[in-house]
Amino acid sequence: MNFDHTIVPSTDRQASASFYSEVFGLPDARTEGPFAALDLGNDVSLYIAGWHRTVARQHYAFLVDEDEFDEILARVAARGGVHWADSSATKVGEINHDDGGRGAYFRDPDGHFLEIITVRYGGRPLTAPGA
């Protein structure tokens, strides 16, 4: 079984799609039904919705390589964003070194808590074909 997509609730589909595309260095979103679809590197997509007036904040974690980690944090900073080392958002501007890698948290335009990590929790190896 493979995970195919998840829907990211948003108050502004285009603003959120642009944020994810820019911060994660992804191609521009494509339209798929009522969604702005962004393809990730492992054949999984984020479908950005845009019809919500308010959203329940979610947490999304992304496994990235060392170079991507630095690039993403630089793009977050260039947009005036803040990042934290911890999920409690108390260690402003810091990164963590959990499981022998690096990790950081930041928010998207709707307040979803995004996490980037360079090593999976517990140091789990990748198991998906082609990963």
pLDDT in tens, 22-76: 999 999 999 999 999 999 988 999 999 998 899 999 999 999 999 999 999 999 9
**Per-residue confidence (pLDDT) for residue 16, from 0 to 100:** 97
Cα 73 to Cα 85: distance, rounded to the nearest angstrom: 12
- Tokens representing 107 are 């928010």
Q: Which contiguous run of DSSP H or E holds residue 69?
A: helix 66-78
The answer to the question of residue 130 being in a domain is no
**Per-residue confidence (pLDDT) for residue 42, from 0 to 100:** 87
- Domain limits for position 95: 5-122
CATH code of the domain covering residue 11: 3.10.180.10
Structural domain total, the chain:
1
**Per-residue confidence (pLDDT) for residue 128, from 0 to 100:** 61
**Per-residue confidence (pLDDT) for residue 26, from 0 to 100:** 97
The answer to the question of residue 127 being in a domain is no
The answer to the question of residue 57 being in a domain is yes
**Per-residue confidence (pLDDT) for residue 63, from 0 to 100:** 96
Q: What is the pLDDT of residues 77-109, one digit of tens each?
A: 999 999 999 999 999 999 999 999 999 999 999
Cα 113 to Cα 74: distance, rounded to the nearest angstrom: 17
The answer to the question of residue 92 being in a domain is yes
The predicted model scores a pTM of 0.92
The answer to the question of residue 129 being in a domain is no
Cα 58 to Cα 6: distance, rounded to the nearest angstrom: 11
